[in-house]
A and B are shown apart, each in its own frame.
Chain A
Amino acid sequence: MEIRVNPTRMELNLLKKRLKMAERGHKLLKDKRDELIRQFLILVRKNKELREHVEKELSAAFARFLLARAVMSAENLEEALMYPTKKLSLEINKQNIMSVYAPKFSWVEEESGRGENSSIYPYGFVDTSAELDISIETLSGILPRLMELAEVEKAVQLLAEEIEKTRRRVNALEYILIPKLGDTIKYITMKLDENERGALTRLMKIKDIVRAKM
């Protein structure tokens, strides 16, 4: 398997340069891949942990909420939750993990004008059940974890994508381009040597003929 080129010395030099470059690129990419995988493993472990934790807590909150829903009438519940005291807005920064850009979330809670020190509960305690309070408390307690999960999970996804790409490149260089270049270089050297030998024999032959005529 080789590239079709003219077997000339100039091509040979060019190819040798390309081979050197490819090898350097290969080494760099391999290092990049290794470091990406290291980072990825750290993040993915964290991701797993976070997700398990969040899922457990959320399920608990939901269970409580269901109870609240069972105890209270639907209208009451809806009414109680109609006007939240807070509004979350998100600020997004970039973080750079081995030149993979992943979003970094930070959020701000805006009080929606209920006066100072409004609690997380948007309702009065008269016609709501305690289950609702607990459910909402768990939910708002879990929010930082949720945001962290979102951040880590996104980073993991983007890293996985990048690792796959890098691995393909490494493999393409290692198994396709570099062998191809090597084969072509070999082909050209052999061709050149052959030409040289051909020229030599021709010279000797001519010399013989000339000598025989004298």
Chain B
Amino acid sequence: MSTYKIAVIGDKDSILGFKTIGVDTFSVTSSDSALTVLKKLVSEEYGVIFITEELARDLEDIIAELNKRFLPAVVLIPNSKGTLGIGIQQIKKNVEKAIGTDILFGKEG
């Protein structure tokens, strides 16, 4: 068993605070550079990668691919402008994929 690192990718305003709790931060401004960073992190020893929803929105494909793997765990977090609801959307998608119909969020939608 080896040790892994934790990373967070996002815009500077949102992620600077993460630095203090000992997480490696990578501030990016565009989804293009986010993609490069994400690819780099995947090839290194990162176990958990937090990424802001705003950036993740444009990286759906690669994140979906990573979600099928054992590692790393890519977790979407809201950024300083608030949540976009993509994270919740993803849970919903998972439910639909597994069960065929959405039974958790049925009341709201």
Contact = CB atoms under 8 A, between A and B. Distances in A.
A73 interface: no
Interface string B80-94: 101100011001001
A52 B87 CA distance: 9
A209 interface: no
B87 A51 contact: yes
A40 B103 CA distance: 12
Contacts, number: 146
A153 B75 contact: yes
B19 A84 contact: yes
B83 to A, nearest CB: 5
Interface residues on A, range: 35 or more
SS of B interface (majority): mixed
Interface residues of B, number: 39
Contacts of B18: 139
A211 B94 CA distance: 78
B59 interface: no
B42 interface: no
B107 interface: no
Nearest to A112: B22
Interface in A74-133: 77-78, 81, 84-93, 101-103, 105, 107-110, 120-122
Nearest to B71: A103
Contacts of A63: 80
A150 B3 contact: no
Given A103-B73, A146-B75, 7 more contacts: A55-B87, A62-B14, A81-B20, A107-B6, A135-B17, A136-B20, A140-B20
Interface of B: 1, 3-6, 13-14, 16-23, 47-48, 50, 67-68, 70-71, 73, 75, 77-80, 82-83, 87-88, 91, 94-95, 97-99, 104
